[in-house]
Amino acid sequence: MTDSGEGHAAPPDPATDEEAGEIRAADLGRWLREFARLVRANRDLLTALDSAIGDADHGLNLDRGMTAVVIELDAAPRISSPATLLRTAGMTLVRTVGGASGPLYGTLLMRMAAACSAPTLSAEELAIGLRAGLDGVTARGRARPGEKTLLDALEPACAALDSALAEGTSLGVALHAARAAADAGRDATTAMVARKGRASYLGERSVGHQDPGATSMALLVTAAATSLGEPADSATAGAPGSD
């Protein structure tokens, strides 16, 4: 990554002013906490989506799991390596979420952990980690894109992140592209026939319903864009009070 600081209109953020692209464990912690917040805020939506084509527990499952993750992170504030933080969160999800989504999200984070051994991550290393997570989820769930699952948000997000970074964009811009791709992938699940998980029992009757797992996965990518990317629209983190 280039280290040009030119043209940045945003005021320096004392928490992240070192080097754009250096992602630390604390940054990943902010990402997962933001995901937990979004899951809580969307819990009823996720559960309503799952009530249409599943068993009405997706919001409850993920909220339980991410609440446990936040408790784990609070209890271990000194986790200093990305791998340890991701592994801790992934194991917590596997342990606390009974549904299909727990092992799948847990696998995503644990595979990311295995691929992210450096003490701080570059944008490229984050993308490599996320793709390793995608590969792990694919292997575990034996699903492919187009089968109306969380992969339909995760796979396009990884593809968008990779291609944006390959073009030399900043992490912030790349993550916002990933977010747009995840949202589009989520929306595309509405027209799909479910081929995996409980929704597959409905066959063609699953058409017309947005997949709950793709919906939560898009929230995970949104959380990454807002917590790991540059502040796109002012995070109002205490701008100096100039009336």
Asked if 141 interacts with Mg ion (CB under 5 A), we say no
Shortest Å distance, C-beta 140 to ligand ADP: 7
Q: Which of ligand ADP, Mg ion, none sits in contact with 213, Cβ below 5 to 8 A by type?
A: ligand ADP
Backbone angles phi, psi at 121, to 5 degrees: -110, 140
Query: Closer CB to ligand ADP, residue 58 or residue 179?
Result: 58
Shortest Å distance, C-beta 144 to ligand ADP: 9
Asked if 183 interacts with Mg ion (CB under 5 A), we say no
Q: Identity (one letter) of the amino acid at 179?
A: R
Q: Which of Mg ion, ligand ADP, none sits in contact with 151, Cβ below 5 to 8 A by type?
A: ligand ADP
For ligand ADP, the binding residues (CB under 6 A) are 50, 54-55, 57-58, 61, 99-101, 104, 141-143, 149-151, 196-198, 211-214
In which region does residue 92 sit, left (phi positive, over 0), alpha (psi from -120 to 50) or beta (all else)? alpha
Query: Closer CB to ligand ADP, residue 50 or residue 72?
Result: 50
Backbone angles phi, psi at 64, to 5 degrees: -60, -45
Q: What value, to the nearest 5°, has the Cα angle with vertex 57 and ends 55 and 58?
A: 110
Taking CB under 5 A as the criterion, which residues in 17-56 touch Mg ion? 50, 54-55
And the tokens for 106?
């847990």
Query: Closer CB to ligand ADP, residue 32 or residue 214?
Result: 214
Q: Which of Mg ion, ligand ADP, none sits in contact with 72, Cβ below 5 to 8 A by type?
A: none
Asked if 82 interacts with Mg ion (CB under 5 A), we say no
Asked if 57 interacts with Mg ion (CB under 5 A), we say yes
Query: Closer CB to ligand ADP, residue 149 or residue 170?
Result: 149
Query: Closer CB to Mg ion, residue 99 or residue 133?
Result: 99
Residue 125 near residue 135 (C-beta atoms within 8 A): no
Residue 187 near residue 177 (C-beta atoms within 8 A): no
And the tokens for 197?
């998980």
Tell me the CB-side half-sphere exposure of residue 27, using CA atoms within 13 A.
24
Determine whether 9 is exposed, middle or buried from the number of CB atoms within 10 Å of its CB (0-12, 13-18, 19+).
exposed
Which stretches of the chain bind Mg ion, using CB under 5 A?
A: 50, 54-55, 57-58, 99
